Amino acid sequence: MENQQQELMFKLSMFEQQIQQLQQQLQSIEQALTEITSLNFGLDELINSTGKEILAPIGKGIFAKTKLLSEELTVDVGGKNFVKKSIPETKKIIEKQIKKLEEVKIELNNNLKKTGEEFMKLMGEAQGKE
């Protein structure tokens, strides 16, 4: 009987850890979505702004006043590969990234729901054995 209780407690602990990990991943996805959506809106402000002064980020919370020479952007497309893109082309890339993040968010929410249901079922079993 004691062995069964220990096994049950172990399973409950594993579910708790899994739920916490899923919640952390979900929080990271939410933060990434917020940042990338903000970036997408920021690109709109660059349209027809050639020659205007803007604040360009150069590090965490540090900005430099610069003059926008062109609407052509240099975009990191992965693997330290940089390509020239227009603002609309860059927005398309960002919108694809937003869509992927939203799909991952849905998947994580579904996993969290399933894990929570399994956890509650196991809790019910544990209370029934007491």
Q: Which DSSP state fits 44?
A: H
In a domain, 89, yes or no: no
In a domain, 125, yes or no: yes
In a domain, 123, yes or no: yes
In a domain, 88, yes or no: no
Provide the CATH number for the domain around residue 117: 1.10.287.370
Tally Cβ neighbours within 10 Å of residue 90. Answer: 21
User: Do residues 41 and 57 touch, judged by C-beta distance below 8 A?
Assistant: no
* 35-44, 78-87, 91-100, 117-126, range with the lowest pLDDT: 117-126
| Rounded Cα gap, residues 59 and 78, in angstroms | 20
* Number of folded domains that form the chain: 1
pTM: 0.79
In a domain, 94, yes or no: no
pLDDT at 13: 87
In a domain, 79, yes or no: no
In a domain, 61, yes or no: yes
pLDDT in tens, 71-103: 999 998 888 899 999 999 999 999 999 999 999
- What is the extent of the structural domain holding 55? 2-70+99-129
- 130: confidence class by pLDDT, cuts 50, 70, 90: low
In a domain, 83, yes or no: no
